[in-house]
Homo-oligomer: A and B are copies of this chain.
Amino acid sequence: MISVEEAKHIILQNTVDFGIEEIPFIQSVGRVLKEDIVADRDFPPFNRVAMDGIAINYSYFKNGQRSFTIEGIQPAGSPQLSMQNSGNCTEVMTGAVLPNNCDTVIRYEDVTIENGIATITVDNINDGQNIHEKGKDKQQGDLLISKNTIVSPAEIGVIATVGKSIIKVAKQPKVMIVSTGDELVDVNETPLDHQIRRSNVYTLVSLLGSLNIPSETAHITDNKAILKEKIDNYLQEYDLLLFSGAVSKGKFDFLPEVLDELGVEKLFHKVTQRPGKPFWMGRTDALNMNSSSKNKTLVFAFPGNPVSTFVNCVAYFYSWYYKSIGGQKNKQSAILTEDVNFKPNLTYFLQVKLENKEGQLFATPVKGNGSGDLVSLTEADGFIELPKTENIEFKKGSVYPLIRYK
């Protein structure tokens, strides 16, 4: 039995680099960028008109001129015009190149136009106004988005602008999610009195789906020989195996034994926490001669109770995954809204409902009926992590680390 801190430490020591793949940029939201995105030219690439109106040479305005003969129109998307007479003006559109011999743009709202002559109707005109200057945001070669950024819609626009139609992102691991337990039938079946439907594997599929990780699922009966044979095959084929169930003290909890026999090195079994204590983790190693696997495969074997599987996935697997692919998620915390008493000398992952009020994040405990109560997961938004301590009382108003899943 190890502590939550030790478990986290071991997990983060066992990250795996799954490599890099190239994908169309538009499919990259949620993925981790594996190249720097650099300005292919200045941002903006030319002195860019920022308002619809007229462009003039400011010195004429300064000298008292208010009426300007319109020499032409500079639309967005046309090659740069040159104003022939610097005392004239050119009509300019937002997004257009500022014409040569102009340095200031006056918006249509501040101009009247009659017979080809624009007359400025306001006095507060500044030299160089309404121009988004070439290179003002970024210069050619500047770093725009760093490698290891998690791509969001904000990054998509920048990636499009620099023309990276194909980009490098962290490759996803190949994942098999396995349920065990003879009490389980599938979702579209009708369970007998002593049976229930499989749900944890689907929860895990969707928790991984939230990280854009595709996965496959399988169910193995509580038979040691069959379990061993199937897992042996999965170890050859997958980067990651996730299990739900068969890691506790039951007569049919063969998993730790089977994994050991297959040469999977145990990293730990059991963590001083509630829920989710019987969590088992291990790995194969190409260097380990006992290993039946040619690859490095990581095994996360979660306890079979739904809340246990869920909390271990979001508390450990998520951190492990982000560190593995190089992405980063900021830590969060929340303020407890009521006193909580918790006697066992264990770290307590407490289900909470969150509320943002006046810029503060409040966490109210959700009363569940233990780790078997999967409906309670839908009533909460996350877990707060109450540290393992002799002190059994956690006070209203105190702040604890938050693992948010909604």
Q: Which of A61-69, A72-80, A283-291, A293-301 contacts B (4 or more CB under 8 A)?
A: A72-80
A132 and B50 CA atoms in complex are apart in Å by 67
* Smallest CB gap from A204: residue in B: B153
Is A276 in the interface zone, CB < 8 Å from B? no
Contact present for A378 and B144 (CB under 8 Å): yes
**Set of chain B residues within 8 Å of A145, measured between Cβ atoms:** 378
Smallest beta-carbon distance A91→chain B, Å:
7
- Count A interface residues, CB 8 Å: 113
- State which residues 303-353 of A face B: CB under 8 Å: 304-306, 310, 330-335
A314 and B44 CA atoms in complex are apart in Å by 24
Contact present for B333 and A370 (CB under 8 Å): no
Contact present for A369 and B152 (CB under 8 Å): no
- Known interface pairs A76-B252, A251-B93, A330-B356; A374-B206 also in contact (CB < 8 Å): no
Contact present for B194 and A91 (CB under 8 Å): no
In the complex, the count of this chain's copies comes to 2
Contact present for B192 and A136 (CB under 8 Å): no
**Set of chain B residues within 8 Å of A140, measured between Cβ atoms:** none
Q: Which of A2-10, A156-164, A226-234, A257-265 contacts B (4 or more CB under 8 A)?
A: A156-164
Majority SS of interface residues in chain A? loop
Is A253 in the interface zone, CB < 8 Å from B? yes
Smallest beta-carbon distance A401→chain B, Å:
10
List A residues at the B interface (Cβ < 8 Å): 25-26, 29, 43-46, 48, 50, 52-53, 73, 75-80, 91, 93-97, 107-109, 132, 136-138, 144-145, 149, 152-158, 160-165, 181-184, 187-200, 202-203, 205-207, 209-210, 222, 245, 248-253, 304-306, 310, 330-335, 355-362, 368-370, 372-378, 380, 399, 402, 405-406
Complex A-B, nearest 10 residue pairs according to Cβ-Cβ distance, in ascending order: A77-B182, A77-B183, A335-B359, A154-B377, A160-B199, A153-B206, A157-B203, A93-B250, A52-B250, A76-B183
